Amino acid sequence: MLVHGFDMHRVYISAPGDLEAEREACRAVIGETNERLAMPSKVLLVSVGLPQEGALDQYRAAVADNIRQCRYYIQIFQDDWGPRNLSRKMFYLAYDGRSDGALPMQEVIVLLKAAPRETDPEILGFRKELAELSGVQVISFESIASMQEQLRPALAGWASNIIAAQEPATTA
């Protein structure tokens, strides 16, 4: 086993397949945050998640276990919860996990892509439900660049909080 000395904190990223570019952009911001802030303090934000959200039905138990092991959760959405509302179930597993002292989950972020021409009442209700959640940062965005710009301070805050909570190094 490789000993690296980093304090690793898992970040689960969930996004439907049509938002794969946004998921990759989110991972890029995590990488930037690691390089700029976290790694110099021996901290690492580690992104985890399914390579394709369509596999959620097949690996539901494993995904739920992964989410329970994460400290942070990022959900990217635009218009619905996905097939059989499984993404909703996983999202609320993370959301509710914040209040379970036995789990490491601390924060949940929703990245909500703009849908300016949407008129479907069910989709509008879905978006309203997300926007009205308490204790969740909802970041609305129109482009990948604006999503990344708004996500950077949140991830920097996570890294800074982790670093601040570390015990001071003992001197010899």
pLDDT surpasses 90 at 18: no
Helix (H) or strand (E) holding 38: none
Q: Which domain holds residue 92?
A: 7-165
Sheet holding 137-141, edge to edge: 43-48, 7-14, 72-77, 107-113, 137-141
Contact 73, 9 (CB under 8 A): no
Q: Which of 7-16, 44-53, 131-140 shows the lowest per-residue confidence on average (mean pLDDT)? A: 44-53
pLDDT surpasses 50 at 29: yes
Domain assignment present for 2: no
Distances 99 to 69, 130, 135 between C-alpha atoms, Å: 14, 18, 11
Predicted model pTM: 0.89
Residues of the chain above pLDDT 70, percent: 90
Domain assignment present for 16: yes
Q: Could you write out the DSSP letters of every residue in 73-127?
A: EEEEESS---GGGHHHHHHHHHHHHTT-TTS---EEEEEEE--TT---HHHHHHH
pLDDT surpasses 50 at 172: no
Domain assignment present for 134: yes
Residues 6+ away with beta carbon under 8 Å from 152:
29, 32, 33
Domain assignment present for 58: yes
Mean pLDDT value across the chain:
88
* Number of domains forming the structure of the chain: 1
Phi first, then psi, for residue 138 (nearest 5°) are -105, 120
Q: Domain of 159: which CATH number?
A: 3.40.50.2300
Domain assignment present for 1: no
pLDDT surpasses 70 at 21: yes
Q: How does pLDDT run across 30-78, given as a tens digit for each residue?
A: 999 999 999 999 999 999 987 766 667 678 888 899 999 999 999 998 8
